[in-house]
Amino acid sequence: MPDSSDIPGNDGMTEAAIGPSVAEVVPSKRTRLSRPPGVTRQFFWTYLGGFVVLHLLALLALVPWLFSWTGVASVFVGNLVFGALGINLAYHRLLTHNGLTLPKWLEHLFAILGVCCLQDAPARWVAIHRMHHQHSDQEPDPHSPLVDFFWGHMGWLMYQNKYFGTPDFYDRYVREILKDPFYLRLERDFRYLSVYLAHAVLFYLAGFVIGWWMAGELLGGIQFGASLLVWGVFVRTVYVWHITWAVNSVTHRWGYRNYDVSDQSRNNWIIGLTNNGEGWHNNHHAFPRCAAHGHKWWELDLTYILILLLERLGLAKNVVHPTTEQLRIGAKRTDPV
Ligand SMILES: [Zn+2]
Ligand SMILES: [Zn+2]
């Protein structure tokens, strides 16, 4: 485990939070940024095609034959299981920021849950996010909404960025993660896509068996399997995509600030609640390693509650809790926008 200061994006944030001259370097909401230098004019068809296909497949939820309340519930349970445990806890708070450790088997299991959200293999996701913290709302932040809102939300994923995937990119940002053969394998040749497809098949098969058993006929199995596939995989994937992307776009535009950090990060209660705590993004930029993103009593952080539960069970270790000093500074510096 590298020291936190070795990790781009994890250094100097506490000082930034309490430094007296931060206001002088904070970009204003009206500051415009250019697209990062590595971005070309060519569409990244692998991702763009995936976005179009998944959004169209998610629209199948409008077909009444495919509706089931279990399917609807699977979106929200799936957001907790795949979104909170996979993306928020494993990809973000653990792998990116070392805010906690888990036994390797559990870390890998949660990382697989993240893979099932179709948001890149873990190492690439982590590298891009560390780059974001290092250059937040300055060039070459990969997805600042100061370029424009759509760019910050999903536009940045639709164009080739020549820097992503280069040896320097991996070496600089995720060298220690790729020492683990598990993450290296997932990174190669889009192998993580087969994991995503396998979990979609499992969703269908589980629904098929349960539906056939409940209805007592084959058609019941086909219908319920398709319903779970559409709602539990397609709709959930698109939903988790947008609430994750909203952290990059919405919470760098709208909300209130507890800390005067040198970027546009904000705490946004809609994203905070829908994305299980990730929307308290200004707190997170002030203290990137802290496993808790909610710092005030009303800032509900379901992901942190899951981390506390894992710590109570003896599974999560080295959890970086907020210190009273950090919280005291945050309380004094409240700066509603
Ligand atoms: Zn951010
Ligand atoms: Zn982060």
User: For 60-69, what is each residue's pLDDT tens digit?
Assistant: 999 999 999 9
Q: 48: CA distance to ligand 2 center in Å?
A: 24
Task: Sketch the domain layout of the chain as residue ranges.
Answer: 45-258
What backbone torsions phi and psi does residue 335 show, to the nearest 5 degrees?
-145, 75
Per-residue pLDDT averaged across 41-69, rounded? 97
Nearest to 92 by CA among 124, 58, 129, 55: 129
Q: Are 279 and 253 in contact (CB under 8 A)?
A: no
How much is the pTM?
0.90
Ligand located closest to 126 CA: 2
| Ligand (nearest to CA of 271) | 1
Helix locations, 135-217, DSSP H:
149-150, 156-158, 167-174, 181-187, 192-215
Residue 309: count other Cβ atoms within 10 Å of its Cβ: 11
| Closest listed residue to residue 127, CA positions, set 282, 237, 9, 246 | 9
Ligand nearest to the CA of 247: 1
Flag whether pLDDT at 161 surpasses 80. yes
Q: What is the mean pLDDT of residues 159-163?
A: 94
Residue the block writes with tokens 């299980």: 276
**What Å distances lie between residue 168 and 162, 173, 251, CA to CA?**
11, 8, 29
Q: Give percent of the chain above pLDDT 70.
A: 88
pLDDT higher than threshold 60 for residue 2:
no
Q: Residue 226 corresponds to which tokens in the numbers above?
A: 């398709």
d(CA 253, CA 273): 17
Q: What pLDDT, on the 0 to 100 scale, is given for residue 31?
A: 80
- Could you tell me which residues come within 8 angstroms of residue 240 by beta carbon, excluding any fewer than 6 positions away? 78, 79, 82, 83, 87, 117, 119
Ligand 1 centroid to residue 251 C-alpha, Å:
7
Ligand number nearest to the C-alpha of 288:
2
Residue 151 CA to ligand 2 center (angstroms) comes to 19
pLDDT digit string (tens) for 195-211? 999 999 999 999 999 99
Q: How far is the CA of 136 from the centre of ligand 1 (A)?
A: 6
Q: How far apart are the first and last CA of the chain?
A: 38
pLDDT at 29: 63
Say how far apart CA 192 and CA 204 lie, in whole Å. 19
Whole-number pLDDT of residue 256: 96
Residue 257 Cα to ligand 1 midpoint, Å, equals 13
The rounded Å distance from CA 133 to ligand 1 centre is: 6
Question: How confident is the model over 261-285, as a mean pLDDT?
Answer: 97
Give distance in angstroms: CA of 307 to centre of ligand 2: 16
Residue 21 has pLDDT above 80, yes or no: no
Given a cut of 50, is residue 146 above it in pLDDT? Answer: yes
Distance 140 CA to ligand 1 centre (A): 13
Query: Counting ligands in written order, which one lies closest to the CA of residue 253?
Result: 1
> Is there a cis peptide before residue 140, judged by omega within 30 degrees of 0?
yes
Could you tell me the distance, in angstroms and rounded to a whole number, from the CA of residue 32 to the centre of ligand 2?
Answer: 22
Token pair in block for residue 9:
């994006």
Cβ contact 142:156 at 8 Å:
yes
Cα–Cα nearest to 153, from 42, 55, 251, 267: 251
How many other C-beta atoms can be found within 10 angstroms of the C-beta atom of residue 152? 27
Assess contact for 156 and 165: CB atoms under 8 A.
no
